[in-house]
């Protein structure tokens, strides 16, 4: 009960959102279910990618290369599966390549103290280059990633429909990862040490914690989640690889991480919010709002411009800007983010 009182704003907001979601679900049951399903579909890779950012920055390493990590994994997973004829091998190679990309970032920034932004940009450029150069059209996947329906839970109205049925197991992993990383971060030894290393590394060092090793391990392991996000894009959501298919999701994930105040569960909620804004945008595009025929007069022209599909497609990004603006000054980044730790240099 004390916990509820301390977090009454969060809890209250959550209650309002849940009630609103159910009201909309019952009231507009022609479009609402499909919108929710599409929202979650859009949010899955964002959740995974945002968690990569959370783990990295909580340890004090900015990961601007999530985009590149996802792209490499999407590429490696898809083409390995196509070449070997095994979905499982494809997924494993995809996740593994995310891990390798994470290790690259970890070693360059933590061990060799390269500028973290530059290392991330390098990763993104290399990823775009390699995946574009070796891209071959016409490959197809040997199958699909199997669905995972959770018994009992899938029968809950709305929630069961969206989260616990009709989705591959990657979606379930995303949910479990968000909950799991929250528990790890705030209730275990690893979490306490990780937060200390990201906030005030010299304090951790003088308490006998190996700052460099913890950062190396965290950034590397987090890479596997970016790998899974990439695999989801090319092997689950679309069954094909295209050049630059991550389309800025890695950066959107960073924005979600910030709006989620570097907390896994809030980042999860934020990812859902963007998924929903995206679903609203595509719903509006399909419903053909706007003006029939040639616009006449300024107001009609303005309306036509605002409701054009191209402008509507920017809605999620406009929402990012608005929420980031609201979040500015209210959330605080880990203290040592972006700074390489040099022993004895306090």
Q: Which residues bind other proteins (CB under 8 A)?
A: 187-189, 191-193, 195-196, 199-200, 202-209, 332, 335, 343-344, 346
CA angle 142, 143, 149 (to 5 degrees): 160
Contact assessment for residue 165 and residue 149, using Cβ atoms and an 8 Å cutoff: yes
Minimum CB distance to other proteins smaller for 243 or for 343: 343
Minimum distance of other proteins from residue 228's CB (angstroms): 23
Minimum CB distance to other proteins smaller for 202 or for 239: 202
Q: Which helix (H) or strand (E) holds 106?
A: helix 87-106
Minimum distance of other proteins from residue 198's CB (angstroms): 9
Minimum CB distance to other proteins smaller for 167 or for 182: 182
Minimum CB distance to other proteins smaller for 296 or for 332: 332
Minimum distance of other proteins from residue 341's CB (angstroms): 13
One DSSP character per residue, 195-261 reads: HHHHH-HHHHHHTT--HHHHHHHHHHHHHHHHHHHHHIIIIIISSS--TTTTTTHHHHHHHHHHHTT
Distances (CA, A) of 161 to 5, 89, 176, 178, 272: 31, 29, 17, 19, 15
Q: What are the backbone angles phi and psi of residue 197, rounded to the nearest 5°? A: -65, -35
Separation between Cα atoms, residue 148 and residue 237, nearest integer Å = 15
Q: 340: which residues sit within 8 A by CB, 6+ positions away? A: 109, 110, 113, 116
Minimum CB distance to other proteins smaller for 150 or for 265: 265
Contact assessment for residue 42 and residue 275, using Cβ atoms and an 8 Å cutoff: yes
Minimum CB distance to other proteins smaller for 144 or for 342: 342
Minimum distance of other proteins from residue 205's CB (angstroms): 6
Minimum distance of other proteins from residue 346's CB (angstroms): 5
Minimum CB distance to other proteins smaller for 58 or for 167: 58
Minimum distance of other proteins from residue 327's CB (angstroms): 17
Minimum distance of other proteins from residue 296's CB (angstroms): 56
> Please, what's the largest Cα pairwise distance for the chain?
72
């Amino acid at each position: 009960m004390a916990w509820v009182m301390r977090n009454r704003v969060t809890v209250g907001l959550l209650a309002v959102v849940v009630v609103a979601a159910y009201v909309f679900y019952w009231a507009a049951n022609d479009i609402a279910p499909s919108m929710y399903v599409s929202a979650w579909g859009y949010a899955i890779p964002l959740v995974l990618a945002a968690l990569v950012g959370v783990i990295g920055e909580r340890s004090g390493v900015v990961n601007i290369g999530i985009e590149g990590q996802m792209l490499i994994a999407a590429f490696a997973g898809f083409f390995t599966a196509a070449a070997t004829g095994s979905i499982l091998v494809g997924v494993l190679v995809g996740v593994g390549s995310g891990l390798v990309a994470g290790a690259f970032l970890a070693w360059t920034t933590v061990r060799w103290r390269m500028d973290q932004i530059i290392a991330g940009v390098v990763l993104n450029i290399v990823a775009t280059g390699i995946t574009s150069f070796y891209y071959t059209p016409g490959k197809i996947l040997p199958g699909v990633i199997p669905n995972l329906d959770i018994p009992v839970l899938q029968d809950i109205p709305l929630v069961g429909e969206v989260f616990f049925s009709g989705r591959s197991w990657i979606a379930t992993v995303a949910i479990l990862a968000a909950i799991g990383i929250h528990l790890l971060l705030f209730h275990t030894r690893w979490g306490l040490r990780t937060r200390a290393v990201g906030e005030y590394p010299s304090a951790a060092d003088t308490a006998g914690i190996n700052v460099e090793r913890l950062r190396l391990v965290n950034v590397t392991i987090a890479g596997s989640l970016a790998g899974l996000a990439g695999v989801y894009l090319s092997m689950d959501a679309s069954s094909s690889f295209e050049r630059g298919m991550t389309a800025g999701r890695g950066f959107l994930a960073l924005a979600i991480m910030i709006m989620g105040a570097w907390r896994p569960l809030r980042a999860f909620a934020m990812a859902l919010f963007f998924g929903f804004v995206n679903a609203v945008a595509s719903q509006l595009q399909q419903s053909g709002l706007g003006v029939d025929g040639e616009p006449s007069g300024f107001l009609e022209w303005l309306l036509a411009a605002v409701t054009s599909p191209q402008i509507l497609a920017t809605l999620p990004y406009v929402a990012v800007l608005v929420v980031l603006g609201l979040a500015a000054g209210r959330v605080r980044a880990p203290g040592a983010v972006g700074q390489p730790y040099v022993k004895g240099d306090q």
